[in-house]
Amino acid sequence: MRNESEKNDLTQPTSVIKRLRYLVMSLAMGIFFWQLLTLVLDLPAFILPGPGLVWRRFLQSLTDGQLYQHTLVTLYEILAGLFIGGLAATSLGYLLAKSSTLEKLLSPYLVASQSMPVVAIAPLLVIWFGPGMLSKIIICSLTVFFPILINTLIGLREVPQDLRNLMRTLEANPFQTFWKLEVPAALPVYLGGLRVGATLAVIGAVVGELVGADRGLGFLINVGRGQYDTALVFVALFTLIITAMALYGLVLFIETRLLSWQYWRQGKR
Amino acid sequence: MNSSPEPALQVHNLGVTFRDASGVVHALHDLSFSLPPNGFVSLIGPSGSGKSTLLKVVAGLVPPTHGSVRFSPDHSKIGMVFQKANLMPWRRVIDNISLPLELKGLPREDIHAQAQELIRLVGLEGFENAYPRDLSGGMAQRVAIARSLMQDPDILLLDEPFGALDALTRERMGDELLYIWQARRKTVLLVTHSIPEAIYLSDQVLALSSRPGSIVLDLPVHLPRPRTPEMRYSEIFSELTHTLRDTLHEDNGLVQ
């Protein structure tokens, strides 16, 4: 797992510039059609604000510190939820992979917990843990828990038996088997789970905030809606999208780094 | 069999029984043989004769139900090569080869120096930094052999190491294996289902019956060393081939 950047297409400077150029073009196109739509339909600003208005509202909420403050709250909830939920899911996943008895005992509960959407119990959690960040962190943890647990379990189960035998003939101790075999072998599947978890964490946090909160981007959406400040709703939505994309990109970046042995070959072919 | 003072490995009255989905399986029955030090012995038998099970018992991966497996005190280190190259896809060639010593906690520079030497021995110079994905089957198997030599084993256990290769590559790998064996002086136990391969490579060929596997023929191979490809056309070679083939077919006929 060394640096392979010079062979990795995704990180080559020329290709990054090329990708950026397309991104800028597609953004410009989107804004153009949005502007066109507002001009043609001529709707009041509280139904569909134009890009100019949203941009001014964005600058305003940026300068008064409002946007920054609420984004930070939501981001904190997401990251804390991802961390706590991820840690719990990874540990439990490891234990379940090691003991099929434990898996058989717990799997009915795990499946049952999944048939109940976390969105549905969000109001309950807000009642129990208050409108502050704690209830959102719990909602986030619960949403990310299952995909990460499952992927930990599958990743570890799929470690080839022949490689386990190899480690045994080489007299590897359990710690070495863990770090030099199980972790790298399970990592591709595990990181896939983390990527899904990162996306779900954003949803979890916003759902929690929409149900009842005194801070955060979901709260900001509610405020904008209540005041017919639709431009503010748009600002909050865009910030959410960018946050979710950045988070997804971060996990993807970690993946390409840690799994360079996989991406290297894909880039070559 | 050679009349050497102490065998490197002694298998005595070995029996293995295990349970699988279809019930109780008697994989091996009352099986005894010994490996002379620095000898090259092949195990041959029909599919399902428990050859691989036997190798796993010797490697300590499967416990014996009856009997014993005893190593001489100066032949306790084992290297194993599996049917598939069994490399770690996330490790480069050199890091795959380094693994056994890495697990022993040796300093990195020493490990890499030794790995480099083995890469030269198996003819993989220039591929040190390649990932297993980019290797052909023969190259991957060479990496696996180099890895098994890394901890300088006394006994090398090879479980159909060339089974997945095409015929030509297979013969070339056999010659390379002999070259390595002569350069490093190991005791080798090879499992194969190729009759010519067993004869060409070995000092002694043990033929196993079908399940439950036991030894039906212990055939010494008196071909001079070093072996050369022309020996495959010699009188002795074809005689040995006939003997082995007849034994294996006869046994199969009796069972059916």
With contact defined as beta carbons under 8 Å apart, do B40 and B184 qualify? no
The ipTM (two decimal places) reads: 0.83
Query: What pLDDT is recorded for position B248?
Result: 84
Asked, as a colleague might, if the bond just before B153 is cis with ω within 30 of 0, I would say no
Q: Of B79, B86, B131, which is closest to A162 when you measure between CB atoms?
A: B86
Contacts with A1 from chain B: Cβ below 8 Å: 90
Check pLDDT > 70 for residue A268: no
Query: What pLDDT is recorded for position A141?
Result: 94
CATH architecture of the domain with range A53-268: Orthogonal Bundle (1.10)
Contacts with B151 from chain A: Cβ below 8 Å: 170
Q: Of A1, A168, A170, which is closest to B100 when you measure between CB atoms?
A: A170
Alpha-carbon distances, residue B188 vs A70, A171, A240, B38 (angstroms): 69, 20, 64, 7
Over range B24-34, report the average pLDDT: 87
Residue B151 located in a structural domain: yes
Distance CA B134, CA B124 (A): 13
pLDDT classification of A154: cutoffs 50, 70, 90: very high
pLDDT single digits (tens) A188-210 = 999 999 999 998 999 999 999 99
Q: Of A2, A170, A265, which is closest to B99 when you measure between CB atoms?
A: A170
pLDDT single digits (tens) B98-156 = 999 999 988 888 899 999 988 988 889 999 999 999 898 889 999 999 999 998 888 99
Query: What pLDDT is recorded for position A269?
Result: 36
Assess A183–B contact: CB distance below 8 Å, yes or no: no
Number of domains in chain B: 1
Residue B78 located in a structural domain: yes
Query: What pLDDT is recorded for position A110?
Result: 86
Distance CA A95, CA A112 (A): 19
Residue B178 located in a structural domain: yes
B131: tokens are 């990932």
Residue B39 located in a structural domain: yes
Over range A47-57, report the average pLDDT: 91
Assess A154–B contact: CB distance below 8 Å, yes or no: no
Q: Which domain holds residue B96?
A: 9-255
Check pLDDT > 70 for residue A9: no
Identify the top-confidence range among A2-6, B44-48, B248-252.
B44-48
Contacts with A168 from chain B: Cβ below 8 Å: 60-61
Query: What pLDDT is recorded for position A12?
Result: 56
Check pLDDT > 50 for residue A213: yes
Query: What pLDDT is recorded for position B45?
Result: 85
A237: left (phi over 0), alpha (psi -120 to 50) or beta: alpha
Distance CA B250, CA B256 (A): 10
Residue B3 located in a structural domain: no
Assess A259–B contact: CB distance below 8 Å, yes or no: yes
pLDDT single digits (tens) B50-106 = 888 889 899 888 899 988 888 888 777 888 998 888 999 999 999 999 999 999 988
Query: What pLDDT is recorded for position A201?
Result: 92
With contact defined as beta carbons under 8 Å apart, do B233 and B241 qualify? no
Assess A178–B contact: CB distance below 8 Å, yes or no: no
Residue B1 located in a structural domain: no
Best of B92, B103, B141 to disrupt the A interface by mutation (most A CBs within 10 Å)?
Answer: B103
Assess B103–A contact: CB distance below 8 Å, yes or no: yes
Query: What pLDDT is recorded for position A117?
Result: 82
Query: What pLDDT is recorded for position B201?
Result: 93
Q: How much is the mean pLDDT over chain B? A: 87
Q: For residue B198, what is the domain's CATH number? A: 3.40.50.300
**Contact state of B60 with A169 under an 8 Å Cβ cutoff:** yes
Assess B62–A contact: CB distance below 8 Å, yes or no: no
Check pLDDT > 80 for residue A66: yes
pLDDT classification of B18: cutoffs 50, 70, 90: confident
Whole-number percent of chain B with pLDDT over 70? 96
Contacts with A189 from chain B: Cβ below 8 Å: none
**Strands laid side by side in the B155-159 sheet:** B78-81, B155-159, B187-192, B40-44, B204-208, B215-220
Q: Of B60, B86, B133, which is closest to A166 when you measure between CB atoms?
A: B86
**Annotated domain spans of chain A:** 53-268
Query: What pLDDT is recorded for position A263?
Result: 62
With contact defined as beta carbons under 8 Å apart, do B55 and B188 qualify? no
Distance CA B148, CA B150 (A): 5
How big is the A-B interface in CB pairs under 8 Å?
53
C-alpha A112: how far from its chain's center? 23
Residue B18 located in a structural domain: yes
